[in-house]
Amino acid sequence: MEQYQDHLSGVFQALADPTRRAVLGRLSRGPAGVSDLAKPFEMALPSFMKHIRYLEGSGLIRTHKRGRVRTCEIVEKQFAAAEAWLSEQRALWEGRADRLEQFVMQIQEEGKSK
């Protein structure tokens, strides 16, 4: 369970940064070279590479190098833990909202009958 939580924390920390989210958004359309991924961002390549290494460390992407080109691709299965956690939270909060709605309706009905 602790390993699951550590992995989940890493995934959400990776997703917390807008640059990394933008990279993932681009990679969702297919693999891309690091230089192509870096073009839209106003930062030096070494700074951008920190984002790539963070995403790779979290397991959300993998990279491979052919010649001088490093290509990145998304690892879809790594999103499953975050998706499962979000689904659990959604179900929990929807259940709470439903119970709150029932409570409010009950109070309103009691108020009408007085």
> In the chain, where are the structural domains located?
2-113
Q: So what's the pLDDT on residue 83?
A: 86
Q: So what's the pLDDT on residue 60?
A: 94
Question: Does the domain at residues 2-113 carry the CATH identifier 1.10.10.10?
Answer: yes
Q: Does 3 have pLDDT greater than 60? A: no
Q: Give residue-wise pLDDT tens across range 72-91.
A: 999 988 888 888 888 988 88
Q: Give residue-wise pLDDT tens across range 31-65.
A: 999 999 999 999 999 999 999 999 999 999 999 99
Q: So what's the pLDDT on residue 2?
A: 56
Report the side by side order of strands in the sheet with 61-66: 32-33, 69-74, 61-66
